[in-house]
Amino acid sequence: MIAYTFYWIDERERVHFIGLLPERRRRPERITKESVMNFGTTILGDNVDRNNIFFIRVTIDEGTGEIIWPKPYVEFKEAV
């Protein structure tokens, strides 16, 4: 099952976990960044700067409940 973990960055640049939202939509074409971000603003309210909210898409193993995190992506550029 696909889910999203939400985080909020406060004024001191500390990151806070907001919550986890399982994806329930059956039609993947309805899933957009904007529609997912609406959950974060629903929880924190409209007064929060949306630029201070982010999410990570994860997979939940429905048999064990284990959260499977994506592999970090790091791009190295060669020094010139």
Per-residue model confidence as pLDDT tens digits over 24-40: 888 878 888 888 888 77
Report mean pLDDT in 10-residue bins for the chain, 80 residues.
91 92 85 84 78 92 93 75
* pLDDT for the residue 63: 94
**Cβ atoms of 52 and 13 closer than 8 Å:** no
Contacts of 40 (CB under 8 A, 6+ apart): 6, 8, 18, 48, 50, 53, 55
Q: Among candidates 23, 18, 28, 29, which has minimal Cα distance to 55?
A: 18
For tokens 């790091």, name the residue: 74
In the sheet that 15-22 helps form, which strands lie side by side, from edge to edge?
A: 15-22, 2-9, 53-60, 67-68
Task: Kindly report the pTM of this predicted structure.
Answer: 0.77
